[in-house]
């Protein structure tokens, strides 16, 4: 099994970037000068020259690429998922953070509107701004989202406008006002990144307060041992699938992804941390996904070296970590 999926991200099929630009917010975004860092920022740095897509959004300096903190809404990419006929997993905003403070609420709503319209896909939304995600998602409705999508139609080409209007009645059972719940969208997985225990303890409770059909936590790049159950009773946190069936609506984590940092200056990653998370997931019936060993892993106290520069080849992993599960839709 190789890693040929979108942007080298093995847990998705496609990336969709209607927003560009971000700013660093916590250690997972990068350490001191030259240490690890945001992959999107590095990519943006390569394309920040005059006339290029990230002009004004990133700069190149002595410390390498850096976000400027500016955000751009890329209108022409808003409806990409509507055009994609084959159902797929779509990672939303791999080159930004949908809940960055400079992304207007109306734009967040329009992006959710597209996710409701193009409902043949499964969307994966990850943020480090868990408080803003909770606040916005808690207060949105699908009607508002669809209206925001259509509003942003103004000023675009007739062909673009026609595609959105055609998609509304045909592509979205949510618009039929059936008995099915309209919100949260059943085809959207909402999640937070929790690169260390502090970020887990801060962001995961906010995620659990966020209306979501499914919830994910990306523990990547994992920077230390993270214990999901350190502050939460297991029966109210990562609940077994059976418990979910018995208690629909109980806020739980459905999916955990882990991996080590890659690239020059990658910070250490102990495979024991990955095993600890796997044990938690096994015990609770939570889907577990080991993404990569990274470029600076250890196993049993010894360096864990791989031929693949980022440790992404499952054939090189210990057998007990060759686990790449996806969450199941809740009944
Ligand atoms: S939040 Fe994500 S995209 Fe933004 S700087 Fe941090 S790692 Fe990069």
Residue-wise pLDDT for 35-70, tens only, equals 667 999 999 999 999 999 999 999 998 888 999 999
Say whether 295 sits in a helix, a strand or coil. coil
Atom of ligand 1 nearest to the CA of 22: 4
Predicted model pTM: 0.88
Q: Phi and psi at residue 287, in whole multiples of 5°?
A: -65, 140
Ligand 1 neighbourhood includes 40 CB (under 6 angstroms): yes
| CA 191 – ligand 1 centroid, Å | 14
Please state, rounded to an integer, the average pLDDT across all residues of the chain.
84
- Going by CA atoms, what residue is nearest to atom 3 of ligand 1? 96
Q: Do the beta carbons of residue 311 and residue 304 sit within 8 Å? A: yes
Name residues whose C-beta falls within 8 Å of residue 90's C-beta, 6 or more positions apart in sequence: 12, 13, 14, 15, 16, 81, 84, 121, 122, 123, 124
Q: Report the relative pairing of strands 58-61 and 64-67 from DSSP bridges.
A: antiparallel
Q: Report CA Rg, the chain.
A: 20
Give the length of the chain.
Answer: 331
Ligand 1 neighbourhood includes 97 CB (under 6 angstroms): yes
Q: Which residues of 72-104 are buried (b: 16+ CB within 10 A; e: fewer)?
A: bbeeeebbbbbebeeebbbbbbbbbbbbbebbe
Q: List, in sequence order, every beta strand (DSSP E) within 51-187.
A: 58-61, 64-67, 72-73, 89-92, 122-127
Cα–Cα distance measured from residue 165 to residue 298, given in angstroms and rounded to the nearest whole number: 53
> How does pLDDT run across 248-295, given as a tens digit for each residue?
656 788 999 999 999 888 999 999 999 999 988 888 788 999 999 999
309: tokens are 């520069």
Measuring CA to CA, how many Å separate 214 from each of 78, 102, 231, 258? 23, 26, 21, 17
Asked if pLDDT for residue 164 goes beyond 80, the answer is no
Ligand 1 neighbourhood includes 203 CB (under 6 angstroms): no
Of the chain, the end-to-end C-alpha distance in Å amounts to 30
Ligand 1 neighbourhood includes 41 CB (under 6 angstroms): yes
Quick one: DSSP state of residue 267? P
Ligand 1 neighbourhood includes 102 CB (under 6 angstroms): no
Q: Which residue has the tokens 């989202």?
A: 145
Q: Do the beta carbons of residue 133 and residue 99 sit within 8 Å? A: yes
pLDDT at 7: 58
Q: List, in sequence order, every beta strand (DSSP E) within 237-311.
A: 255-259, 269-270, 287-292, 297-299, 302-304
Q: Which residue has the tokens 């979205």?
A: 172
User: H helices then E strands: how many in the chain?
Assistant: 9, 14
74: tokens are 């890329």
> How does pLDDT run across 61-120, given as a tens digit for each residue?
888 899 999 999 999 999 899 889 899 999 999 999 999 999 999 999 999 989 988 888
pLDDT at 329: 74
- Going by CA atoms, what residue is nearest to atom 7 of ligand 1? 29
| CA 104 – ligand 1 centroid, Å | 17
- Going by CA atoms, what residue is nearest to atom 6 of ligand 1? 29
H/E stretch holding 279 = helix 271-284
Q: List, in sequence order, every beta strand (DSSP E) within 50-119.
A: 58-61, 64-67, 72-73, 89-92
């Amino acid at each position: 099994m190789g890693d040929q999926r979108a942007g080298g991200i093995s847990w998705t099929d496609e990336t969709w970037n209607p927003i560009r630009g971000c700013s660093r917010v916590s250690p997972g975004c990068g350490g001191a000068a030259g240490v690890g860092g945001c992959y999107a920022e590095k990519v943006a740095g390569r394309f920040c020259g005059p006339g290029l897509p990230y002009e004004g959004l990133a700069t190149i300096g002595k410390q390498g690429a850096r976000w400027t903190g500016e955000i751009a809404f890329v209108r022409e990419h808003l409806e990409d998922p509507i055009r994609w006929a084959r159902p797929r997993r779509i990672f939303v905003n791999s080159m930004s953070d949908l809940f960055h403070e400079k992304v207007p609420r109306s734009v967040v709503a329009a992006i959710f509107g597209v996710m409701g319209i193009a409902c043949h896909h499964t969307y994966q939304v990850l943020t480090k701004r868990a408080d803003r995600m909770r606040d916005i998602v808690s207060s949105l409705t699908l009607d508002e989202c669809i209206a925001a999508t259509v509003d942003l139609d103004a000023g675009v080409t007739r062909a673009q406008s026609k595609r959105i209007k055609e998609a509304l009645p045909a592509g979205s059972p949510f618009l039929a006002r059936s008995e099915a719940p309209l919100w949260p969208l059943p085809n959207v997985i909402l999640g937070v990144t929790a690169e260390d225990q502090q970020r887990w303890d801060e962001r995961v409770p906010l995620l659990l307060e966020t209306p979501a059909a499914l919830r994910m936590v990306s523990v990547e790049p994992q920077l230390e041992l993270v214990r999901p159950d350190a502050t939460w009773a297991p029966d109210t946190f990562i609940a077994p699938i059976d418990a979910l069936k018995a208690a629909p609506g109980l806020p739980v984590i459905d999916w955990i992804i882990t991996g080590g940092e890659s690239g020059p200056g990658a910070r250490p990653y102990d495979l024991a941390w990955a095993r600890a998370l796997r044990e938690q997931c096994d015990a609770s019936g939570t889907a577990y996904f080991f993404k990569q060993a990274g470029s600076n892993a250890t196993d049993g106290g010894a360096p864990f070296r791989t031929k693949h520069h980022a440790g992404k080849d499952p054939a090189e992993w210990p057998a007990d970590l060759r686990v790449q599960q996806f969450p199941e839709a809740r009944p």
